Amino acid sequence: MSTSRRDFVARLSAFGLALAGLPRFPVLLRPRFAANPFTLGVASGDPGPDGVVLWSRLAPDPLNGGGMTPEAVNVRWEVATDDAMRNVVRRGTVSARPDLGHSIHAEVEGLRPASWYWYRFDVGGESSPVGRTRTAPANDSRPDRYRFAFASCQHYENGLYTAHEHLAREDVELVAFLGDYIYESAGNPNATAGAVARPHQPWEPMSLEQYRNRYALYKGDPALQAAHAAFPWVVTWDDHEVDNNYAGDVAQDSVPRDAFLTRRAAAYQAYYEHQPLRKASIPRGPDMLLYRTIGAGQLARFHVLDTRQYRSDQSCGDGNKPACPAWSDPSRVMLGDTQERWLTRGVDQSQARWNILAQQIAFSRVPDPNRPQYHAMDPWSGYPAARDRLLAWMAERQQRNMVVLTGDIHAAFVMNVVRDALQPESATIATEFIATSITSGRDGFDRWGQLRDYETTVPNMKYHNARRGYVTCELTPTQWRSDYRMVPYVMRPGAPVETVASYVVQDGKPGAEKV
């Protein structure tokens, strides 16, 4: 397009001015692509009662920076009430900006609550695949049933996305993804045959372009694209979107703070560029607002947490360790003061029957009966003062039906959240469902060796399994039900899915019961 490109370049039109404060770019008026630019699929997210965010990214050469020239491009979007896109009810144009990787975030309004819609993007004679999305129930409505799924941890090298193939066919209204969407490790070209299902690029991302190329590798997967195209997603991150076990402004390895924050800024920006997030989450340097609430009428409210950006560093050198003095230092935080106040106020003001804490890391203590003095230093167990503060607050609010959803540990657990995390026999005050991973940990196995007798050794652990999959949840005003949906293998294709365990929570009675 270089010969006459200048003829088609104009100053940024009104479409781009919505993002006040961001720089202006010339606009490519008649874009032409060597290949369809929608290689990364489509997605939608953060549904409200009257609208949703529609996402895609123009990337005709996805694994090599995207393949776009440095102008902005105006992309048309349409929303219809049918999958053939005949009855279009909303349409508009959004700017795909070069400084945001030509990502597309169209915030659609004016839709009806609790309704399915289909959407598509068009630019330069090319069309995206059609995606399906669903608006949230009206804020004052009282749905008698609401279904969603949650999942986490999809290491690309550790397996195929068979679980996403099954997830895309589930009867749910929303997917919550709780972190480790990408992994930052470098692919090892000398890995033993059979150890890697499919390789990462042979580098660890540091720059924005490298993070973009890592997202492009993941988002090129057809099963992941199908799961995004089937439902709106609500996402939050864990550590691997940036760097294993980073904490706030502290890297895993000893890296100067400024250098790590430069890397964090690149990683956060790439995260924003590849997720269906609202404008409030546009990153500002190394900072990005990710905690937020998503409603489901008077039946449920998701309090989506960020347990990485504001936390204190791990104590005792991270890992699984006996406690050292810093472990119980009351000044160490997980959510940070601002987010903690936002959470407690949000739950206190919520009218919802079920208050969902959608977050990344194990809230309950998952003990090792062989090493009872050890604590995992990265999850909440490594931040006992911060956890105790929340437990004391939760204990006063058992009627708020708090349910904690968790990712991170690549194994499934159902935990009764107890008043004293170190005393598994203490009173149950809430319930925690820990998803296993989509792939991380490869095929997996039935249970961790140290938990072979968990039924008798860990009284508040109601279920454990270390295979791959996700969880579907069905909420009614009187009962929460979680079904653990598992695939027996991910290192080769074609695994079936089955429900291996189902647990319910009754309204007003914290704790899980086996179905």
Binding site for Ca ion (CB under 5 A): 180, 238-239, 408
* 483: partner contacted, choices Fe ion, Ca ion, none (Cβ within 5-8 A by kind): none
Q: Is 153 in the site for Fe ion (CB under 5 A)?
A: yes
* 239: partner contacted, choices Ca ion, Fe ion, none (Cβ within 5-8 A by kind): Ca ion
Choose between 37 and 159: whose C-beta lies nearer to Ca ion. Answer: 159
Q: Is 239 in the site for Fe ion (CB under 5 A)?
A: no
Alpha-carbon span 462 to 24, nearest angstrom: 55
Choose between 46 and 238: whose C-beta lies nearer to Ca ion. Answer: 238
Least distance between Fe ion and beta carbon 433 (Å): 16
Least distance between Ca ion and beta carbon 378 (Å): 8
* 173: partner contacted, choices Fe ion, Ca ion, none (Cβ within 5-8 A by kind): none
* 298: partner contacted, choices Ca ion, Fe ion, none (Cβ within 5-8 A by kind): none
Least distance between Ca ion and beta carbon 410 (Å): 8
CA distances from 142 to 95, 298, 479, 505 (A): 37, 5, 14, 19
Tell me the two tokens of residue 438.
């989509």
Angle at 71 between CA 70 and CA 74, to 5 degrees: 140
Least distance between Ca ion and beta carbon 390 (Å): 20
To the nearest 10 degrees (0 to 180), the angle between helices 208-219 and 222-230 is 80
CA distances from 59 to 104, 224, 257, 292 (A): 11, 17, 32, 29
Choose between 143 and 441: whose C-beta lies nearer to Fe ion. Answer: 441
Q: Is 100 in the site for Fe ion (CB under 5 A)?
A: no
Choose between 39 and 275: whose C-beta lies nearer to Ca ion. Answer: 275
Least distance between Fe ion and beta carbon 381 (Å): 16
Choose between 57 and 311: whose C-beta lies nearer to Ca ion. Answer: 311
Angle at 144 between CA 358 and CA 111, to 5 degrees: 75
Per DSSP, which regions of 254-296 are E strands? Answer: 292-296
Least distance between Fe ion and beta carbon 427 (Å): 31
* 170: partner contacted, choices Ca ion, Fe ion, none (Cβ within 5-8 A by kind): none
Is residue 271 helix, strand or coil? helix
Query: Which range touches Fe ion (CB under 5 A), out of 59-67, 262-270, 361-369, 434-442?
Result: 434-442
Instruction: State the CB neighbour count (10 A cutoff) for residue 284.
Output: 11
Choose between 365 and 400: whose C-beta lies nearer to Ca ion. Answer: 365
Alpha-carbon span 374 to 367, nearest angstrom: 8
Least distance between Ca ion and beta carbon 314 (Å): 13
Residues 6+ positions from 205 with CB-CB distance below 8 Å? 184, 211, 213, 214, 266, 267, 270
Query: Which range touches Fe ion (CB under 5 A), out of 51-59, 128-136, 180-188, 457-465?
Result: 180-188
Least distance between Fe ion and beta carbon 229 (Å): 24
User: Buried (b) or exposed (e) across 399-409, using 16+ Cβ within 10 A?
Assistant: ebbbbbbbbbb
Question: Residue 198 has what DSSP assignment?
Answer: S
Q: Which amino acid is at 72?
A: A
CA 49 to centroid of chain Cα atoms:
21
Count of residues engaged in binding Fe ion, rule: CB under 5 A = 3
Alpha-carbon span 208 to 264, nearest angstrom: 10
Q: Is 440 in the site for Fe ion (CB under 5 A)?
A: yes
* 163: partner contacted, choices Fe ion, Ca ion, none (Cβ within 5-8 A by kind): none
* 440: partner contacted, choices Ca ion, Fe ion, none (Cβ within 5-8 A by kind): Fe ion
Using CB under 5 A, pick the residue from 71, 170, 173, 180 that binds Fe ion.
Answer: 180
Residues that bind Fe ion (CB under 5 A): 153, 180, 440
